[in-house]
Amino acid sequence: MARIIERLEAAYPDAKCALDHENPLQLLAATILSAQSTDKMVNTITPALFRKYKTAAEFAKAHTAELESMIHSSGFFRNKARSIQGACRIIADQHHGEVPETMEELLKLPGVARKTANVVLGVAFGKAEGIVVDTHVQRLSRRLDFSKESRPDKIEEDLMRLVPRDKWILLAHLLIYHGRSKCTAIRPKCAGCPVEDLCYSEDKTV
């Protein structure tokens, strides 16, 4: 694990969250929008969205149909609009308009499970309370024998046991970058992989 992390750090020195944002509220909304979508798609939606809605109160009071129209291309737009508005109502009413900084409080927000909470805590607040497990992290954790589990929560538990806490936030960024550039779901680019000799996956390519 340590050797793999070291090599991935060298290969992806600029690894960071790919969702464009300027504050924790924008990151929260963008992360909710990214479910079943791509960061690239979300980044095409959020500039206009964040120009129109700048605070949790503004999101909460938005006309739902207008909000849905603005986020339509992200998919599942009705559920996402409901989650964003529900979360922003709680943030506006119970947290003085500020995104909460604890896992416990974040998980109380509509549309927020551990993955989203870990993104917000790690990226916006620099708090390593867990490890983001998205589809890339899930796939690579199994390929690299970090975990035999299939459920994201179980994979997260395995990673937290294996990885030093000071690497929890970075690890997710590294695996996501590697999953997008080399270790793709179909026909991974093993010939140019920086950790090829440390990987024993059955679906390696030549």
Q: Which amino acids are annotated catalytic?
A: 115, 134
Burial of 179 per CB tally in 10 Å (0-12, 13-18, 19+): buried
CA distances to 35, 103, 129, 143, 153 from 106, in Å: 17, 5, 12, 31, 16
CA distances to 27, 59, 139, 156, 179 from 107, in Å: 15, 19, 24, 16, 27
Instruction: Find tokens 């969250």 and name the residue.
Output: 17
The two structure tokens encoding residue 129: 């309370």
The two structure tokens encoding residue 153: 């929560």
Rounded distance between C-alpha atoms, residue 96 and residue 31, angstroms: 21
